[in-house]
Each structure stands twice: as C-alpha cells, then as structure tokens.
Structure 1
Amino acid sequence: MSELKTGETIVDFTLYDTKRNEVRLHYLKGKNILLAFHPLAWTKGCARHMKMLEDNYEKLSSMNTVAFGISIDSVPSKKAWAKELGVEKTVFLSDFWPHGEVARMYGMFYEDMGVSKRASILIDEDLKVKFVKVYEDHKLPDINEIFDAIEV
C-alpha cells in the first residue's frame, strides 16, 4: 500500500493480542487508537519504545486513547516479552502471519529485512488517520509529539 494520508479512513485489520484475543479497529470506534509499530521484540530499542507506552498508559487512557505495540513476532514471543518487560496494560499485537500483512497494508514494512518500520499511526474516534510518522530504527518516538497530535 502507498503511504497513509491524514484524513483518510484507516483500513481495518484483524490481529491477535498476547491472550489470543482478536483485535479489530472497528471494535474501538469512539476512541483514539495509537498503532506503535516496532521492528522486533527482544531488542533494546523496541523494549524502550514499549516501556514508554506502558509508562504513559494512564495519560493516554485519560486522552481516550488505546495504544497497541505491533511487530511481526509471534503471539507466544510477544506474550513472553511483555512478561519479561513487566508490561501489563499496553496491548501487544502480533503481525506474524501472514508475515507482516498489516505493516505491509499500511506501508510500514521493510521488505528487505522482513520487519516493520518503527512508526506511530494515530487514528481518531471516527477511524480516520490523524497522524503518521516513521522514525529512524534506533530513534524513539517523542511521546509529547503524540500527545500533541491527540489534542489537535
């Protein structure tokens, strides 16, 4: 898919969380949704990224926002990683099979490496793209920039 554009309606997906619950965006209409793509579980940069979401869980919730950490890792791997990190509130989603399908659908997949890019996609209450930013692989998103995008 080509690059996402602000204002367009997001294409829905079905992914599974660490408890094997099905997650679909349309289930969350009426909330802001932050899709936090990260390349791989079990890496330092991705651990810092996901812990940042966990550390800001209450503030995001107070802003009517649900954050998801998405990578191409399998459900069992994401579950073990969440436990290892002590992440209990932020939901991790597995884009394992078909491999990277959602990352590809949103233009957030490195074909040559087989992993997703590090990116933030903010979706508003009406399931429209509100903010999209791709980061250098080793650079963390600026959480304040995300808070500002939610408030706009």
Structure 2
Amino acid sequence: MNELKTGKTIEDFTLRDSNRNVVHLHDLKGKKILLAFHPLAWTQGCAKHMKLLEENYEKFSSMNTVALGISIDSVPSKKAWAKELGVEKTVFLSDFWPHGAVARMYGMFNEDMGVSKRASILIDEDLKVKYIKVYETRSLPDIDEIFVAIRD
C-alpha cells in the first residue's frame, strides 16, 4: 500500500459498477472524482450516505465532479441496493474481489470489521489527491465541506 497523501497522483484501479460496466479510474482524468467509501450496502447509514450523493448529483456534475460510491459488496448486491434506494445516476462500484483490494490499496480498509472505512477522497482533474477525510463509521460526511474542497 502506498500512503495516500494530498498532492500525490492517485494509484489507478479498475472496478465493476452495479451494471457490470468496467470503471477505470484513470479514464476519468479531466474530471474531479469523489471516491465515497462506505462500509456496507443495505445499512441505514450507508443508505443515507449514498442518497446524499444522488440528491447532489446535479451539483457535482455542474462542478465537473463524478461521485463514486465504493464498498466491498458484490455487483449483484450493489445493483439491487441501488434499485431499492432509487439511486439512478450515482455510480456504485464493487470492491468485492479481491476482497476490499482498492480500500486496502488506499488505506481505507477496516481490518477489524472486514469492510471499508467511511471516507471521502477527492481527486483533481490531473488525478492528484486533493482532499482526504475518514469519518466515524456511523457519521455522515458533511456535503458542504466536500463542495468547499471541490471549489478550492
């Protein structure tokens, strides 16, 4: 694992989204990217977190930002969960196998629980880490704080 630091180029990854499409991080160069790690689908806190991203989809888009919801859940689980939540625009990524590989790569894996931490990693248009914040498992990110980081 490389230590994740602001100003450093983010290490690349490829994951599948909830529709089985391949999402290659470095293909998103030219946009800001919010990696929204969350512990586990089908939980109340994570549902609120992902709905928050969906509710702000247009604002993210207007700021040239793509929000990606990442957890260790399988593709079929993420697909069913997105449908259950009514999330249609926000991309959900599956870090299922190898189990939590991307979360581990970025130091965002909770070894005690076997899930990713709740965290926000903002990447700029040149794929450099701009902002990192790890939250208590049960707390939600402050969306206004994230928008300030995107603007700055």
Query: In the aligned structure 1, how far is the partner of 2:129 from the partner of 2:6?
Result: 5
Task: Report how many aligned residue pairs link the two structures.
Answer: 152
- Alignment match, 1:21: 21
Query: In the aligned structure 2, how far is the partner of 1:60 from the partner of 1:14?
Result: 22
Runs of 4+ that moved beyond 3 A: none
Task: Give yes or no for the alignment of 1:68 onto 2:73.
Answer: no
- Alignment match, 2:51: 51
Query: In the aligned structure 1, how far is the partner of 2:121 from the partner of 2:3?
Result: 11
- AA partner of residue 42 (structure 1): W
Listed as ranges, the gaps of 5+ residues in structure 2 are none
Task: Give yes or no for the alignment of 1:80 onto 2:80.
Answer: yes
Listed as ranges, the gaps of 5+ residues in structure 1 are none
- Alignment match, 2:90: 90
Identical aligned residues as a percent = 82
Kindly state the Cα deviation for residue 2 of structure 1 after the two structures are TM-superposed.
5.2
Task: Give yes or no for the alignment of 1:105 onto 2:99.
Answer: no
Query: In the aligned structure 2, how far is the partner of 1:126 from the partner of 1:2?
Result: 18
- Give CA-to-partner distance per residue, 1:44-96, whole Å, 9 cap, x none: 00000000000000000000000000000000000000000000000000000
State the TM-score, normalized to the length of structure 2.
Answer: 0.99
- AA partner of residue 14 (structure 1): T
- Alignment match, 2:41: 41
Residue 88 of structure 2 aligns to a residue in which SS? coil
Task: Give yes or no for the alignment of 1:132 onto 2:138.
Answer: no
| Cα-Cα RMSD | 0.7
- AA partner of residue 100 (structure 2): G
Query: In the aligned structure 2, how far is the partner of 1:100 from the partner of 1:39?
Result: 10
Query: In the aligned structure 2, how far is the partner of 1:58 from the partner of 1:35?
Result: 17
